[in-house]
DNA sequence: AGTAAAAATAATAATAGTTACTGTTTTATA
DNA sequence: TATAAAACAGTAACTATTATTATTTTTACT
């Protein structure tokens, strides 16, 4: 098996994700990290983000508007996506803790997680539209 | 305003999506339609799929494994995604009808829909792993 | 039916996002 | 310190998707 070795770059990526709560894209992370490691490569960012997702330390958010986003907040929470500007924000709605178990009852595979995206129009876009 | 004009290709794409229930990718649809319209172009498929999604006649599914899928089944239902093989299937779990309203209470934008993806390992991959 | 304007098309080029490759550097172990 | 494995930077390649353009189809109006 392939054993994991420490890397400063990966630690920095993880720290970056834990500090910012704006669901950054891989490129957003890359630009942040470059301030500390000016010659980190974008491939390294992607490789480590995918690794962190596999390790379960980070979540990848795919919701159909623009590139994937990454989130180190593993607490149970949902997201809201604006169909007009593509922005994404946390939704402090308490998710049903037993939802995975409920879903498991009607699924022959093994379920261990779920992601919910609410779609609509964000406050800013609603304002713009009313002008 | 831009008025919509009929096109045989678009009708065929819609029909294809309503007939097959396997959440095809744009390319899957393209290959299907080519049997009836051998020189339809992939761009036409993408343009019409996006149009149908905007019109609310079709849903686009993005869930982080492989290309987007399309679904003409607008009934309330959820999806299960296998983290190993990337397959996606319907989950006959009755979604909470009031969930949009609940979420609306803690959101300043306007919510009109939500999508939930359950993640795990599908039956086939579970079997493969046990060998 | 014939015609003109708008929309849609096929074919292709271009772009965006992401992954793969390669020679070098870093990390962990002995 | 020497070695092997893993990670790296830099770059090329690839996949999915969108944009461009000249041609065809649709529709509304004679």
B42-84 pLDDT per residue, tens = 999 999 999 999 999 999 999 999 999 999 999 999 999 999 9
Cα separations in angstroms, A72 against A58, A83, A86, A119, A125: 5, 24, 20, 22, 27
Whether A80 and chain B come into contact, CB under 8 Å, resolves to yes
Mean pLDDT of the A79-84 span:
96
Secondary structure (DSSP) of chain A:
-PPP---HHHHHHHHHHHH--S--BHHHHHHHHHTTSTT--HHHHHHHHHHHHHTTSSEEE--SSSS-EEE---SS-EEEEETTT--EEEE-----TTHHHHHHTT-SSEEEEEEEEEEEE-HHHHHHHH-
User: What is the per-residue pLDDT for A113?
Assistant: 93
Whether B9 and chain A come into contact, CB under 8 Å, resolves to no
Minimal Cα distance from A61: which residue of B?
Answer: B64
Residue B97 has pLDDT above 80, yes or no: no
Mean pLDDT of the A77-87 span:
95
* Architecture (CATH level 2) of domain A1-73: Orthogonal Bundle (1.10)
Domain boundaries, chain A: 1-73, 75-131
CA of residue A53 to C1' of nucleotide C23, angstroms: 28
Q: Which nucleotide does the CA of B46 lie closest to, via C1'?
A: D17
Q: Please, which residues have CB within 8 angstroms of residue A37's CB and are 6 or more apart in sequence?
A: A8, A9, A12
A8-61 pLDDT per residue, tens = 999 999 999 999 999 999 999 999 999 999 999 999 999 999 999 999 999 999
Average pLDDT over chain A reads 95
Q: Which nucleotide does the CA of B7 lie closest to, via C1'?
A: C8
Q: Is the dihedral of CA B101, B107, B110, B116 positive or negative?
A: negative
Instruction: Enter the pTM of the model.
Output: 0.94
Tell me how crowded residue B5 is: count the other CB atoms within 10 A of its CB.
Answer: 6
- CB atoms A116 and B114 under 8 Å: yes
- B113 contact to strand C (CB, 7 A limit): no
User: What is the per-residue pLDDT for A96?
Assistant: 80
Domain B75-131 has CATH 3.30.1490.190: yes
Distance from CA of B90 to the nearest CA of A (A): 9
Q: Which residues of B touch A110 (CB under 8 A)?
A: 120-121, 126
């Amino acid at each position: 098996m392939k054993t994991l070795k420490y890397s400063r770059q990966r630690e920095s990526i993880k720290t970056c994700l834990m500090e910012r709560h704006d669901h950054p894209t891989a490129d957003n992370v890359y630009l942040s990290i470059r301030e500390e490691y000016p010659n980190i490569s974008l491939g390294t960012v992607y490789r480590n983000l995918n690794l962190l997702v596999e390790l379960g330390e980070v979540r990848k958010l795919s919701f159909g508007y623009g590139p994937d986003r990454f989130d180190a907040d593993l607490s149970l929470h949902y997201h809201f996506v604006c169909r007009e500007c593509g922005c994404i924000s946390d939704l402090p709605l308490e998710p049903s803790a037993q939802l995975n178990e409920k879903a498991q009852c009607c699924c022959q595979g093994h379920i261990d997680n779920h992601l919910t995206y609410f779609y609509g129009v964000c406050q800013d876009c609603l304002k713009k539209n009313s002008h």
